[in-house]
Structure 1
Amino acid sequence: MTLTTWELLSYIVTVVALPFAIGVFLFEQRKAHENEEEATWQQISDAYIDFLEVVLANPDLKLRSQRATPDLSDEQRERMLVIFDMLISLFERAYLLLFDTQMNEKRRRRWHSWEDYMREWSQREDFRQRLPELLRGEDPDFAHYLQRLAKEEAR
């Protein structure tokens, strides 16, 4: 091979192969990021299903109704508070990992399912009443977001 041939091959690599390799690399990076987001969303969704199992294991608290459960014993109130704490922790984790002010359409659809859960629970009277206590020490942006949803649902 002559020097001219090597020079021609280097130009081909520079003009064609290098941009192609960069494109493939960026595509793979984007794909890996999407897979990571999918895994995060799936883990949090699984955690919510686990939470619902706790709700099912405590039918006496009537946690799936919108009205406050009347006449609870001290032990029942304590269990309810712990369950609400679990829920707030789960909602905060979802907010911190999934929420962004500039989301693409796929992320926005995923986030709306979490917002629906938050709205659903915010319709419950005793959950809304305990929010100031439950949100103490939580992320300020999350606390503001959930309080806004609760106010909207109280109307």
Structure 2
Amino acid sequence: MTLGTWELLSYIITVVALPFAIGVFLYEQRKERENEEEAIWQQISDAYIAFLEVVLANPDLKLRSQPATPDLTDEQRERMWVVFDMLISLFERAYLLVFEAEMDEKKRRRWHSWEDYMREWSRREDFRERLPELLRGEDPDFARYIRCLAEEEVRGGQPLPLR
């Protein structure tokens, strides 16, 4: 091989192979990011299913109804607060891992399912009443977000004006 041949091969690599390799690398990085996001989504979805199993294991608390459960014993009330604490922790984790101000369509669809869960629980009177205590020490942005959702639900789903 002559010096000219080596020089020609180096130009070919620079012009064709290097951009191709960079493209493959970027594609693989994007796929890896998507796989990580999918794994996070699956993990918190599984955690919500596990949470619902706790709800099912406590039918006396009537946690799936919107009105507050009347006439709870101290032990039932304590169990309900623990369930609400678990729920807020799960919602905060979902918020911190999934929510972004600017989301693509796929992320937005995923986030809306979490927002639906938050809205559903925010319609429950005793959950809403307990929110200030439940949110003490939680992420401030998350706390603002779920308070806003709860206020909207009290107003019948009407969004609040931007502040």
TM-score by length of 1: 1.00
What does the per-residue CA deviation read over 1:113-153, in whole Å, with 9 as the maximum and x for residues that have no partner? 00000000000000000000000000000000000000000
Q: Does the alignment pair 1:102 with 2:102? A: yes
What does the per-residue CA deviation read over 1:38-64, in whole Å, with 9 as the maximum and x for residues that have no partner? 000000000000000000000000000
The Cα shift of 1:81 comes to 0.2
Once residues 86 and 104 of structure 2 are traced to their aligned partners in structure 1, the CA distance between those partners, rounded to angstroms, is 29
The Cα shift of 1:72 comes to 0.3
Q: Percent identity?
A: 84
Once residues 10 and 102 of structure 2 are traced to their aligned partners in structure 1, the CA distance between those partners, rounded to angstroms, is 42
Q: Tell me the residue number matched to 1:132.
A: 132
Q: Tell me the residue number matched to 1:63.
A: 63
The Cα shift of 1:107 comes to 0.5
Q: Does the alignment pair 1:111 with 2:89? A: no
Once residues 151 and 71 of structure 1 are traced to their aligned partners in structure 2, the CA distance between those partners, rounded to angstroms, is 26
| 3-state SS of paired residue (1:23) | helix
Q: Which has the higher contact order (CA 8 A, sep 6+)?
A: 1
What does the per-residue CA deviation read over 1:56-98, in whole Å, with 9 as the maximum and x for residues that have no partner? 0000000000000000000000000000000000000000000
Structure 2: give runs of 5+ residues left out of the alignment. Answer: 156-163
Q: Does the alignment pair 1:89 with 2:82? A: no
| 3-state SS of paired residue (1:43) | helix
Once residues 65 and 152 of structure 1 are traced to their aligned partners in structure 2, the CA distance between those partners, rounded to angstroms, is 18
Query: 2:8 corresponds to which letter in structure 1?
Result: L
Once residues 103 and 15 of structure 1 are traced to their aligned partners in structure 2, the CA distance between those partners, rounded to angstroms, is 35
| 3-state SS of paired residue (1:68) | coil
Structure 1: give runs of 5+ residues left out of the alignment. Answer: none
Once residues 70 and 28 of structure 1 are traced to their aligned partners in structure 2, the CA distance between those partners, rounded to angstroms, is 55
Q: Does the alignment pair 1:39 with 2:33? A: no
| 3-state SS of paired residue (2:71) | coil
The Cα shift of 1:2 comes to 0.6
Once residues 45 and 5 of structure 2 are traced to their aligned partners in structure 1, the CA distance between those partners, rounded to angstroms, is 58
